[in-house]
Structure 1
Amino acid sequence: MDPDGFAADLARKPEALSRLAERLAADNPWAAVVPAGTERVVFVGMGSSAYAAGVVAARMRARGIVAVSELACTRLLPAWGPGTLVVATSATGGSAETLDALRRLPAGATTVALTNTAGSAITESCSAVVDLAADPERGGVACRSYQHTLALLMALELHLAGDDTAGLVASIATTAEASAHLLDTEAAWRPEVAGMLLGPAGTHLVAPAHRFCSAQQGALMLREGPRRPAVGCETGDWSHVDVYLTKTTDYRMLVFAGSEWEDQMAEWTTVRGTTVVAVGGTVPGARLEVRYPGDEQDDVRLLTEVLVPELVAARAWQQTAKG
């Protein structure tokens, strides 16, 4: 793992996203690999792959599609058999738990590997492959591949629902522009955001349920790179599981905007003087907002917003590496 490589990987997000938008505009990668008559979907993966799949599985269920996301290490994989599509995601193609899950699947399911690494072990274990097309990540951290996982699973959602990808392609193109904006203006917002969020008791990231993966992934970036304590939570659930620490710690909080439960959360953060930074919209009690083009569109938020904690993590990691 390399902090300078991670920062370089982030800088290439707009370029990679633009290529992905062009690819999806020209071709549906799922059309050739999803069998007719698919009735159920199971996502298996670990870490970032599982974060992305959890949100997309929920999006599918909201459309009436039978879909679940499971950690590959679970002993409770669905025994659904024929008519089931299993999408196994691993950017490196070598996740031991995901490879093990593929060996434990009940007979009759169709397996598709979603990976960033051609010829990897996962491609040999599945009946078909969809390329993440995120290019090698020099820093050793799943950042572009996480973003591309989300986008391609959203494309699968549309395919199974019988919709075209025009809206998604537009969202990805806007995400490329939004990412370029955050990168170009980093010096104007990132030092202040980092100063507010990187506290002595760690960082807490909060997102609405339909974008919960942003809080999970953002927290992972702070743990994986600069080795900072960080936790992701869902906005509504925050008032039931995380609120307690605002009374006893120097609580630092990044909120991805867009939940109807922010006012309830603010009842506690305001009275207790919690440091709150908002991303992608206005949040009650926030001391600072980070905005970007297209942040009024929910899918653009989903695909873009994690770049904020990623850049905070990258610079903190670089500083730590320099001693």
Structure 2
Amino acid sequence: MHPDGFAADLARKPDVLGRLADTLRAGNPWAPVVPPGIGRVVLIGMGSSAYAGGVAAARMRAQGLVATSELASSPLLPAWGPDTLVVATSATGGSVETLDALRRLPAGLTTVALTNTADSAVTESCGAVVELAAERENGGVACRSYQHTLALLIALELHLAGQDITSLVASIEMAAEASAHLLDTETTWRPQAADLLLGPSGMHLAAPAHRFCSAQQGALMVREGPRRSAVGCETGDWSHVDVYLTKTTDYRLLVFAGSPWEAQMEEWTTLRGSTVVGVGGTVPGAQFEVRYPGDDADDVRLLAEVLVPELIAARAWQEQF
């Protein structure tokens, strides 16, 4: 992995995301690979792929679809029968746990590889392929591929629900504009946000349940790049599992805005003098906010907001060299 390469990969997010919007405008890539009669969906992957899959499966269930997301390493994969679609997500195409899970599946299922790497092991193990089209990530960190995984799993959701992807294409274009804004204005927000968030006791991130993957992915970027301690939490659950650290540590919290449970969180962070930075909206008790165009739309937030901790991580990583 390379810090300068990671930063360069982030800088290209708007352009590459814009090209994905153009591709999807021409048609939903799931239409030719998902056969009629599919009644259940299983998403499998590891790391960033699993984070994206967790939110994608929840969105599908909210549409009335039968869907789940499972770690590929789990021995408890659903046995749902022949009308099941299994989507194996691996940006590199070589995740050993995902390849092992595919070997453990019963015969007769429809399997599709969602990958950024053509002619890779995962494509050879599945019956069909949908390409992430995130282009090569020279930094060795799944950043654009994570973003494209979310977009393409939303495209799958819409296909299975019998809906067109016009709204998704619009959200992707807005997310590209939001990403460009965050990159262009980085010097106005990133230094102060980083100073507030990169504390001696680590960095914590919280996001609403329907965008929980943003907190998970943002924390991973801080761990994977500069190798700093970072943990992602769901905003409502924060009051049950993370609040305790506000009493005993120099607690630094990035909050992705949009949860109805932020006021409950604010009671404790204010009482105990915790440091809070809000992203994408006004967060109660925040000492600093990072805003961007389109941050009043949840799908734009989902596709764009993680660039904030990614840039914080990238610059902290570069400063180590």
Under TM normalisation by the shorter chain, which class is it?
over 0.9
1:181-204 Cα shifts (integer Å, max 9, x gaps): 000000010000000000000000
Q: Which moved more, 1:223-232 or 1:99-108?
A: 99-108
Hey, what does 2:46 align to over in structure 1? Answer: 46
Q: Deviations over 1:150-173 (max 9, x none)?
A: 000000000000000000000000
2:314 alignment partner in structure 1: 314
1:123 partner amino acid = T
Map 1:19-168 → 2, pairs under 5 A: 19-168=19-168
Q: CA RMSD in A?
A: 0.4
Task: Check if 1:194 corresponds to 2:194.
Answer: yes
Q: Secondary structure at the match of 1:281?
A: coil
Structure 1: which 5+ runs fail to align?
none
* 1:81, distance to aligned residue in structure 2 (A): 2.1
Residue of structure 1 equivalent to 2:10:
10
Structure 1 Cα separation of the partners of residues 123 and 106 of structure 2: 19
Distance 1:236 1:65 in 2: 25
Distance in 2, Cα, partners of 1:153 & 1:194: 31
In the alignment, structure 2 segments of 5+ residues that lack a partner are: none
State the distance in 2 between where 1:124 and 1:9 align.
Answer: 27
Secondary structure of 2:244's match?
helix
Partner of residue 238, structure 1: 238
State the partner residue of 2:250: 250
Letter in 1 for 2:75: R
Instruction: State how far apart, in whole Å, the 1-side matches of 2:233 and 2:279 are.
Output: 15
- Aligned residue for 2:124, secondary structure, equals helix
Structure 1 CA distance, aligned partners of 2:65 and 2:106?
A: 20
Once residues 195 and 87 of structure 1 are traced to their aligned partners in structure 2, the CA distance between those partners, rounded to angstroms, is: 40
Q: Which runs of 4+ in 1 moved over 3 A?
A: none
Distance 1:280 1:42 in 2: 31
Paired residues of 1:33 and 1:128 also in contact (CA < 8 A): yes
SS of the residue corresponding to residue 205 of structure 1 reads strand
* Matches of 1:106 and 1:66, distance apart in 2: 19
Secondary structure of 2:219's match?
helix
* In structure 2, distance between residues paired with 1:102 and 1:81: 15
Matched residue SS, 1:108: coil
Corresponding residue of 2:278: 278
In the alignment, what sits opposite 1:262? 262
C-alpha distance after superposition, 1:253-284 (max 9, x if no partner): 00000000000111100111110000000000
SS at match of 2:319: helix
SS of 1:117's partner is coil
Letter matched to residue 309 of structure 1: P
CA deviations on 1:54-97 (whole Å, 9 max, x unpaired) are 00100000110000000000000001120000000000000000
Among the aligned pairs, what percent are the same residue? 79
Cα distance in 2, alignment partners of residues 253 and 89 from structure 1: 30
Deviation at 1:36, TM superposition (A): 0.2
Partner of 1:227: 227
Please give the alpha-carbon distance, in whole angstroms, between the structure 2 residues aligned to 1:106 and 1:238: 38
Number of corresponding residues = 321
Per the alignment, in what secondary structure is the counterpart of residue 73 of structure 2? coil
Measure the CA separation in 1 of the matches of 2:218 and 2:129: 27
Question: For 1:289, what is the secondary structure of its paired residue?
Answer: strand
TM-score under structure 2 normalisation? 1.00
Q: Distance in 2 between matches of 1:31 and 1:162?
A: 10
